[in-house]
Structure 1
Amino acid sequence: MNPILLDIPLQLEAERLLLRAPKQFGDGSIVNEAINKSFNELKTWLPFAQTIPTVEETEVNLREAYINFLKRDSFRFLIFHKGTKDFIGVTSFEGLDWDIPKCHIGYWINTEFSGKGYMLEAVKALCELGLNHIKFKRIEIRCESTNLKSRSIPEKLGFELEGILKNEDFSADGSKLTDTCIYAKV
């Protein structure tokens, strides 16, 4: 089946969270505010967070993400708290290979909400969508070996650590080589 024909929900619900595609114009301002608030933490791990984007750049990025969602090239979800409507962070299926089918999951959290189990809950909901609805045969989570908070997500969700690739990537700022953990659920 052509992936463009797949019925992928634009919104997911978890116990405390609502995950939705970035389909609402104006999402850029709330996401940009979270990037600003979380910049010091994000820049350590994420290449996109080496400079603070403008609200317009964030809005463009989100609109492009929605286009990619519709094209079935990637699936980005913005995470909101059901009760308070606060913006929590982002999680997504990236690197889709429809022949196998497989993907990897990316995520980042608004620092204000870190340590409350929200990202674990969001990634769990995304995994359930991927394995049970989309029928991925393999979902990976890759992260830097020293990023213990990020590593805890796949470990708590029962992903298998398949290996640690030595000197496999550059640090987010490009200054040194880093080791990459590869976790997978099949």
Structure 2
Amino acid sequence: MNPILLNVPPQIETERLILRAPLQSGDGSIVNAAIKDSFNELKAWLPFAQNIPAVEETEMNLREAHIKFLKRESFRFLIFHKNTNDFIGTASLQGINWDIPKCEIGYWIHTKFGGNGYMIEAVKELTNFGLNQIQFKRIEIRCESANIKSRSIPEKLGFELEGILKNEDLSADGRKLTNTCIYAIT
């Protein structure tokens, strides 16, 4: 089947969260504010967070993500709390290879919502969705070996640590070589 024909809902719900595609005008200002609030933590791990983007840059990035969603190239979801509508973070099915089929899950959380299990809940739901609805045969989570918080998510969700690739990537700031953990579930 051609992936463009897949019915992928623009919104997925969990017990406490709503995961929705970035399709509403103005999402950029909400996400940008979270990037600013979480900048010091995000900067250590994510190349996109080396400088605080302008609101317009964040809005453009989200609109491009929506286009990729429609083209079935990746599926980025914005995470909101069901009861308060607070923006929690993002989680994506990305790096899709439809021939296998497989993908990678990427995520980041607004610092003030960390430690509440929200990202575990969101990633668990995306994993279930990817395996059961889209029928991915493999889902990976890759992260820097020193990023203990990020590593805890696949570990708690039963992903297998398949290996640690030495000197495989550059740090978020591009200044040193880092080791990459590869977790997977099939």
Partner residue in 1 for 2:139: 139
Structure 1 equivalent of residue 82 of structure 2: 82
| Alpha-carbon distance, 1:109 to partner | 0.3
1:20 aligns with 2:20: yes
Per-residue deviation, 1:11? 0.4
Matches of 1:117 and 1:26, distance apart in 2: 27
Gaps of 5+ in 1: none
- Give the alignment's Cα RMSD to 1 decimal: 0.3
For residues 102-137 of structure 1, give each alpha carbon's deviation from its aligned partner in whole angstroms, at most 9, with x where no partner exists. 000000000010011000000001001100000000
Amino acid at match of 2:66: Y
**TM-score computed with the length of structure 2 as normaliser:** 1.00
The equivalent of 2:169 in structure 1 is 169
In 2, distance between residues paired with 1:184 and 1:113? 25
Name the counterpart of 1:41: 41
- Indicate the percent of aligned positions where both proteins have the same amino acid: 76
The Cα offsets for residues 27-57 of structure 1, whole Å up to 9 and x where unpaired, read as 0000000000000000000000000000000
Amino acid at match of 1:137: K
- The aligned residue for residue 127 of structure 2 is 127
* TM-fit CA distance, 1:142: 0.2
Q: Which runs of 5+ in 2 are unaligned?
A: none
* TM-score of the two chains, using structure 1 as the length reference: 1.00
Residue 30 of structure 2 corresponds to: 30
Q: Which amino acid aligns with 2:17?
A: L
Aligned mates of 2:15, 2:175 — CA distance in 1: 40
Q: One-letter code of the match for 1:47?
A: P
The answer to whether residue 150 in structure 2 is matched with residue 158 in structure 1 is no
Aligned to 1:102: 102
Distance 1:131 1:54 in 2: 36
- Residue by residue, what CA displacement relative to the aligned partner does 1:145-172 show, whole Å, maximum 9, x if unpaired? 0000000000000000000000000000
> Alignment length, in residue pairs?
186
**Deviation readout 1:63-88 (Å, 9 max, x if unpaired):** 00000000000000000000000000
Q: 2:13 corresponds to which letter in structure 1?
A: E
Q: Distance in 1 between matches of 2:151 and 2:15?
A: 22
